[in-house]
């Protein structure tokens, strides 16, 4: 029996994406954004401060894609704060369609350069399915620099739905559950209203205050 670990799956996905894409016409796109608070899985990542972000994506035209994203983590801190000033992500994915259902398998590496605590970095493997305006995603912790976190087999499940009110306004609904072996599950919800490049979001997380966020984003 051949056993494939989560880490080797991620490595294989990245390698295959790069090698297969060489023979295809790659399309490069970029994105920039700003938000009054960077929220991830219901919790602030920017200490309640505004966050700026930007990224680059490569679509190889054959289902494979890869990219990078960088976001600031807030600036209103004490001079001796050793927290990371920004987050840098690397990711790769493969997407296809099966009987009208969109399926995507991907790998995301979350890194925090400059942080005094070098064990903050971690990575997820995910699979998602979408049909129409609804999607279901499942994330599993692939690796973590912190050995204690790496051993917990953390998972995150999210359900998302979008509904166009008219030609200009879109409502997005989100529900997610994060679970670790040694901790209670943590739920988060959000509702967003988007018009053009602007989005207004109300997000809540168990044990945390409800947050209202205004965001702007543009792709090019």
For 83-119, how does the pLDDT look when each residue is reduced to its tens digit (9 = 90+)?
788 999 999 999 999 999 999 999 999 999 878 777 8
Within-domain flag for 202: no
Within-domain flag for 59: yes
pLDDT value at 162 more than 70:
yes
Number of structural domains, the chain? Answer: 1
Within-domain flag for 33: yes
Within-domain flag for 111: yes
Q: Give me the pLDDT at residue 152, please.
A: 82
Within-domain flag for 144: yes
Task: Please state, as a whole number, how many other Cβ atoms lie within 10 Å of the Cβ of residue 154.
Answer: 20
User: In a 10 Å sphere around its CB, with 0-12 CB exposed, 13-18 middle and 19+ buried, how is residue 166 labelled?
Assistant: exposed
Within-domain flag for 94: yes
Q: What is the pTM of this model?
A: 0.85
Concatenating the DSSP letter of every residue in 26-93 gives -EEEEEEEEESS-EETTEESSTTS-EEEEEEEEE-SSSEEEEEEEEE--S---TT--S-SEEEEEEEE
pLDDT in tens, 109-135: 999 987 877 789 999 999 999 999 999
Within-domain flag for 79: yes
Q: Give me the pLDDT at residue 83, please.
A: 73
Q: Which domain holds residue 40?
A: 6-158
Q: Give me the pLDDT at residue 2, please.
A: 39
Within-domain flag for 1: no
Name the residue with higher pLDDT: 79 or 120: 120
pLDDT value at 19 more than 60:
no
Q: Give me the pLDDT at residue 209, please.
A: 79
Q: Give me the pLDDT at residue 21, please.
A: 47
């Amino acid at each position: 029996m051949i056993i494939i670990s989560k880490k080797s799956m991620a490595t294989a996905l990245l390698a295959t994406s790069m090698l297969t894409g060489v023979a295809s016409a790659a399309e490069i796109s970029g994105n920039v954004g700003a938000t009054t608070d960077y929220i991830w899985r219901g919790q602030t990542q920017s200490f309640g401060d505004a966050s700026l972000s930007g990224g680059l994506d490569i679509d190889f035209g054959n289902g494979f894609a890869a990219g990078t994203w960088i976001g600031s983590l807030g600036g209103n801190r004490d001079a001796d704060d050793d927290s990371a000033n920004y987050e840098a992500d690397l990711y790769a994915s493969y997407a296809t369609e099966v009987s009208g259902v969109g399926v995507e398998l991907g790998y995301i590496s979350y890194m925090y350069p400059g942080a005094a605590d070098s064990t903050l970095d971690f990575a997820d493997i995910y699979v998602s399915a979408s049909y129409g305006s609804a999607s279901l995603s499942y994330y599993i912790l692939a690796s973590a620099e912190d050995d204690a976190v790496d051993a917990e087999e953390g998972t995150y499940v999210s359900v998302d739905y979008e509904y166009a009110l008219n030609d200009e306004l879109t409502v997005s609904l989100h529900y997610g559950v994060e679970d670790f072996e040694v901790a209670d599950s943590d739920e988060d919800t959000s509702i967003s209203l988007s018009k053009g490049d602007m989005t207004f979001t109300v997000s809540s997380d168990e044990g945390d205050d409800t947050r209202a966020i205004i965001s702007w984003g543009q792709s090019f």
